[in-house]
Amino acid sequence: MDITSAGELWERVTGSQPDPALWLVIATAAAALAAVAPRPLWQVTRNAVTIAHEGGHGLVALLTGRRLDGIRLHSDTSGLTVSRGRPTGAGMILTAAAGYTAPSLLGLGGAWLLAAGHITALLWGATALLGAMLVMIRNAYGVLTVLLSGALFFCVSWLTGPEVQAAFAYGVVWFLLLGGVRPVFELQAKRRRYGRRGIPLGRMGEGGAPDSDADQLSRLTRVPAGLWIFFFHAVSLSSLIGGGRWLLGL
């Protein structure tokens, strides 16, 4: 990126870039699907979804006035966000509901930015969010994961040309949209498989039955966990359809 002044930098970030060719949009969608569908590869790429999931918990906790104590990310793709405040009420409900919806909603927001031609703004915005999240990480693996992710976004936005930036940005957004769908199905399957045996599974990312986000929301609201899972499905699938239409220019 050839920038000679702060004004040019601001114009570059906030300005619009040309839409990529349709074949590139379709190719990045195929690449994202390939990163989500095969189980062996998903065990690695799911770390990115966990970052978005825990980041969603943390951001909403702060926005609702809760005190964020820290976020931990683990190599088994599980994560934990700890916040302080009232154990009940709207703030706690919104914080608990933010995790499984965050990747899809981030993908939807990213699709909106890309449809408007703001490719560079998306890359810099993602870098800023990862930088802010890094401050709240409380374990070494989490620091390494978020630091490398932020460095990747920064390098692509600063060192590469428009074509590479477009391919990377579209790939990331497709991945969030597609990757936001699979964890909800995994949660539903694990609750069905283990819940009938009465086996507790732990927190989000570990497959949690009594301690999953859906079960925590059920205890907070007295709404069955199955309905919360339906809500997660509705958000993720609607975001995929809506975001996909934006990306494809339909």
On whether residue 3 sits in a domain, the answer given is no
Q: What is the pLDDT of residue 192?
A: 80
**Count of the separate structural domains present in the chain:** 1
* SS3 readout for the chain: CCCCCHHHHHHHHHCCCCCCCHHHHHHHHHHHHHHHCCHHHHHHHHHHHHHHHHHHHHHHHHHCCCEEEEEEECCCCCEEEEEECCCCCHHHHHHHHHHHHHHHHHHHHHHHHHHCCCHHHHHHHHHHHHHHHHCCECCHHHHHHHHHHHHHHHHHHHHCCHHHHHHHHHHHHHHHHHHCCHHHHHHHHHHHHHHCCCCCCCCCCCCCCCCCHHHHHHHHHCCCHHHHHHHHHHHHHHHHHHHHHHHHCC
Residue 1 lies in a domain: no
Question: So what's the pLDDT on residue 190?
Answer: 84
Domain span at 137? 19-248
Average pLDDT over every residue of 58-65? 96
Residue 150 clears pLDDT 80, i.e. is over it:
yes
pLDDT value at 203 more than 50: no
Look at residue 9 and tell me if it is in a domain.
Answer: no
Say if 223 falls within a structural domain: yes
Contacts of 174 (CB under 8 A, 6+ apart): 28, 29, 31, 32, 33, 107, 247
Q: What is the pLDDT of residue 174?
A: 98
Which residues, in sequence order, are CB contacts of 65 under 8 Å at separation 6+?
85, 91
Q: Contact, 145 vs 47, CB < 8 A? A: yes
Chain Cα centroid distance, residue 244: 16
User: Does residue 2 fall inside a structural domain?
Assistant: no
Q: pLDDT value at position 199? A: 32
pLDDT score recorded for residue 13: 67
Average per-residue pLDDT in the chain? 89
The 10s digit of each residue's pLDDT in 74-130 is 999 999 999 999 989 999 999 999 999 999 999 999 999 999 999 999 999 999 999
CA dihedral angle for residue 71, residue 232, residue 241, residue 181, rounded to 10 degrees: 60
pLDDT at 12: 66
Residue 28 lies in a domain: yes
Is residue 68 situated within a structural domain? yes
pLDDT tens digits, 165-193: 999 999 999 999 999 999 999 999 888 87
- Contact 71/54 with Cβ under 8 angstroms? yes
pLDDT tens track for 21-45? 999 999 999 999 999 999 999 999 9
Q: Report pLDDT for 194.
A: 65
Residue 180 lies in a domain: yes
